[in-house]
């Protein structure tokens, strides 16, 4: 397995964990056969471009982040908004 594809799958797994989702849930949502998904990981290959886009959308991230590990401006802004929502949610619980 080459390092780039290994990192793609590591980032995918980390985001699934962060979202509290499973590989199977991702597969069902993106209409990917779970055995195919596991095969990509084991063989260290990327899915086709359309599947990468669908996976990124499901994980609320960019294709750029999944493939390179570099956060786009959109990713950074999304994380900021999510942090603000969490703060507001926690604040409302204290009222």
| Reported pTM | 0.76
The pLDDT value given to residue 1: 60
pLDDT in tens, the chain (95 residues): 677 889 999 999 999 999 999 999 999 999 999 999 999 999 999 999 999 999 999 999 989 999 998 877 777 787 788 888 888 888 777 77
The pLDDT value given to residue 63: 92
Tell me the C-alpha distance between 88 and 95, whole Å: 11
Straight-line distance from the first to the last Cα atom of the chain, in angstroms, rounded to the nearest whole number: 51
**Consecutive H or E run containing 61:** none
The pLDDT value given to residue 15: 96
3-state SS class at 65 = helix
């Amino acid at each position: 397995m080459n390092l780039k594809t290994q990192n793609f799958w590591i980032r995918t797994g980390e985001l699934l964990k962060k979202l509290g989702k499973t590989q199977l849930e991702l597969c069902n949502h993106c209409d990917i056969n779970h055995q195919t998904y596991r095969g990509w990981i084991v063989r260290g290959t990327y899915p086709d471009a359309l599947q990468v886009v669908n996976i990124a959308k499901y994980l609320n991230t960019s294709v750029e982040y999944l493939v390179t590990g570099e956060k786009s401006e959109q990713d950074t802004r999304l994380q900021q908004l999510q942090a603000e929502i969490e703060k507001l949610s926690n604040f409302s619980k204290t009222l």
